[in-house]
Amino acid sequence: MINIAILGFGNIGSGVAEVIGENQSEIQKVLGDSVHVKYILDIRDIPGVVNDINMIVNDPDVKVICETMGGKEPAYTYTHQALEHGISVCTSNKELVDAYGVELSAIAREHNCSYLFEASVGGGIPLLRTIREAFGHERVSRIAGILNGTCNYILTNMKAGKDFSDALREAQEKGFAERNPAADVEGHDTARKIAILASLVSGKKFSYEQVSCEGITGVTQQDIADAEARGMSIKLLGVYESEGSSIVVAPYLVPSSSPLYGVNDVFNGIMITGNMVDNVMLYGRGAGKRPTASAVVSDVIECLKNQGSNVHTGFADLEPVMSASAPSKPEGSKFRVLGA
Ligand code: HSE
């Protein structure tokens, strides 16, 4: 039996415990051993839950920690401590990966453990693993993605006639939205995610602050109707293009000929263009308890299969990108149009 711990027992953390509990026999099959949640840490006083990180990092039985707390602190301090003790950390925390992912990945490498963050982008879609393992040899020229389930849910429901605030409330009730939903609707969550993807494929560290970012709060029912009349759909996209190190988050007009046109509700779709493979689209649930928790557990399994060594993500070696650009909007138009 292999022991792990979960930090943060909210939506995703409790989902991790559920995935491990319910899919134990599948996990056992793939690992040849069972996984047991020995500790759950939360800052709230919940029965059976611990508050002291030292109890966890000083327990030699704990092999992996799932950090599902979100935010920078105390997640950064706890992750740092765990990695320095040689305990691998798997996270859904894109804010932490964007801000400290390079440093934490270097600490993991130094201590022969891993820092993995599959769940930080694209919810349950095996996106980072695909980029790392299947596209390592590709020259990726573009990534265009619907990366925020909440915004896509809102835009899909607005197209069906629903009010912005009603659709946002529903997304919050379904557990898709961030604690502060401004991070979703202002595009900051998408900016963190496209910065992580751009960093993975370019070998240079893009940070969220470098992303030209516009959310969906300015999109009106009229804009959506006008787009529909032109055979297009409005989607919040994160777009990275290697040429000119261009990176942008904005509502785009997506033509019906694009596979991203039909990506609706909480689903995410990410179109990756490689110089050999051409276009590949990955699609799935971009937010929500179980899909995101499933991605965390996929990282737990990868860490456990590589116990005592470091899973190379490339993040530890990233140099900061000096300047990033953004494509300008066509003159007189409120929106950019996604090209082929
Ligand atoms: N608030 C995020 C979203 C959660 O709606 O996509 C998943 O990262």
pLDDT of residue 234 exceeding 80, the answer is yes
Closest ligand 1 atom to 176 CA:
5
pLDDT in tens, 18-51: 999 999 999 999 999 999 999 999 999 999 999 9
Domain containing residue 277: 127-285+321-337
Bridge partners, residue 336, by sequence = 252
Are 65 and 160 members of one domain?
no
Ligand 1 residue neighbourhood (C-beta within 6 Å):
123, 148-150, 176-178, 184, 189, 286-287
pLDDT of residue 340 exceeding 80, the answer is no
Q: Provide CB contacts within 8 A for 166, sequence distance 6+.
A: 157
Are 278 and 174 members of one domain?
yes
Closest ligand 1 atom to 152 CA:
5
Are 61 and 209 members of one domain?
no
Q: How far apart are CA 221 and CA 224, in angstroms?
A: 5
Closest ligand 1 atom to 193 CA:
8
pLDDT of residue 322 exceeding 90, the answer is no
Burial of 32 by CB count in 10 Å (0-12 exposed, 13-18 middle, 19+ buried)? exposed
Are 145 and 274 members of one domain?
yes
Question: Do 131 and 282 touch, CB atoms closer than 8 A?
Answer: no
Which band of pLDDT confidence, cut at 50, 70 and 90, is reported for residue 299?
very high
Are 64 and 86 members of one domain?
yes
Are 136 and 200 members of one domain?
yes
pLDDT of residue 105: 98
Are 28 and 177 members of one domain?
no
pLDDT in tens, 185-223: 999 999 999 999 999 999 999 999 999 999 999 999 999
pLDDT of residue 330 exceeding 90, the answer is no
Cα 287 to averaged position of ligand 1 atoms, centre (Å): 5
Cβ count within 10 A of residue 36: 13
Cα 7 to averaged position of ligand 1 atoms, centre (Å): 19
Name the average pLDDT for the chain: 97
pLDDT of residue 248: 98
Residues in the chain: 340
pLDDT in tens, 157-190: 999 999 999 999 999 999 999 889 999 999 999 9
CATH code, 302? 3.40.50.720
- Torsions phi, psi for 255 (to 5 deg): -65, 155
Which residue's CA is minimally distant from atom 8 of ligand 1? 287
Are 217 and 96 members of one domain?
no
Closest ligand 1 atom to 190 CA:
6
Question: Do 282 and 269 touch, CB atoms closer than 8 A?
Answer: yes
- Structural domain count of the chain: 2
- Give mean pLDDT, residues 72-92: 98
Are 159 and 112 members of one domain?
no
Are 145 and 222 members of one domain?
yes
pLDDT of residue 258: 97
Cα 85 to averaged position of ligand 1 atoms, centre (Å): 30
Q: Which of 94, 118, 176 to mutate to test the pocket of ligand 1 (most atoms within 8 A of CB)?
A: 176
pLDDT of residue 117: 98
Q: How far apart are CA 193 and CA 228, in angstroms?
A: 27
Cα 11 to averaged position of ligand 1 atoms, centre (Å): 12
Cα 29 to averaged position of ligand 1 atoms, centre (Å): 30
Which residue's CA is minimally distant from atom 4 of ligand 1? 287
pLDDT of residue 269: 98
Q: Which of 121, 150, 236, 292 to mutate to test the pocket of ligand 1 (most atoms within 8 A of CB)?
A: 150
* Positions marked catalytic: 193
Cα 148 to averaged position of ligand 1 atoms, centre (Å): 5
CATH code, 221? 3.30.360.10
pTM of model > 0.95: yes
pLDDT of residue 256: 97
Are 27 and 149 members of one domain?
no
Closest ligand 1 atom to 177 CA:
1
Are 164 and 117 members of one domain?
no
